[in-house]
Amino acid sequence: MTGIALRSENLSRSFGGVQAVAGVSLSLPEGQVTALVGPNGAGKTTTFNLITGNLRADSGTAEIRGKPIMGLKPWQVARLGVARSYQDLRLFTHMTVRENVLAATETSSWFWQPGGRRAQQQREHRAESAMEATGLTALADARAVDLAYAERKFLSMARILAAEADIWLLDEPASGLDLSSRIRFGTLLKDAQARGVAICLIEHNLDVVVELSNRIAFLDQGKVLAEGDPQTILKDPALAAIYFGDRPQEAA
């Protein structure tokens, strides 16, 4: 039976009078891709921020394999095996590709790391393997700022691979990718699934959602309206109307 890597219960967060997330409960099984789908402003990214400690929840709980994580700082959540990508990528733009990836293997902010030369070689091997998997080996010495957009996307993924996290939270990872890049991205996700990684992705390209996800959680106005098989959820006419902005207008 597939285990649950990450679980949230009734997460809520308001900004002033706006309820951004209203009681979101979510389970991420090992070896599966869960897609968060919904219109802009549905609360998808805010949910990620609450899980990873980038925002503090007003209420609710979250745990990683039974360990509570509410109140932890982002770096503490990361050390429990959670890796995240952002819409704006957040790369070290004036560092090289190799330096960016190596940074994801570091466990301390000090200039030296525990374990000596052998540990350093292991981190370098992880970085090289991540660059090879994402097609960036030939660009290892290029600065991140000089990369094409798709290459920056894959650099973000390379950092996640090098971190050896077993829970991935990916915010629009396939946006702006051409078909060949999307296929390469899909291969990365399928390989991770085979290793038992629990993946949650926010994605507006429904073709990508259908192709890569095992299940969907449909969010609107901070609430999970439906969960289930991608084909079933996306064929629901009421949910489609919400997604494409055709929801019925309330009577005045």
pLDDT, tens digit (0-9, with 9 covering 90-100), for 163-189: 999 999 999 999 889 999 999 999 999
Q: Specify the length of the chain in residues.
A: 252
35 or 109, greater pLDDT: 35
- Between β-strands 198-202 and 18-29, what pairing exists: parallel, antiparallel or unpaired? unpaired
Q: How many Å apart are CA 156 and CA 86, to the nearest integer?
A: 9
CATH architecture, range 1-81+166-177+198-246 = 3-Layer(aba) Sandwich (3.40)
pLDDT band at 119 (very low <50, low <70, confident <90, very high): confident
Q: Which amino acid is at 16?
A: G
If pLDDT is split at 50, 70 and 90, which confidence band does 251 have?
A: very low
CATH 3.40.50.300 occupies which residues in the chain? 1-81+166-177+198-246
What integer is the mean pLDDT of 109-134?
79
DSSP bridge pairs for 21: 13
Beta strands, E only, the chain: 4-15, 18-29, 33-37, 59-64, 67-68, 82-84, 167-171, 198-202, 215-220, 223-228
Rounded to whole angstroms, the maximal C-alpha distance in the chain is 70
On the question of pLDDT at 109 being above 60, the answer is: no
Pairing of the two strands 67-68 and 18-29: unpaired
The DSSP symbol for 251 reads P
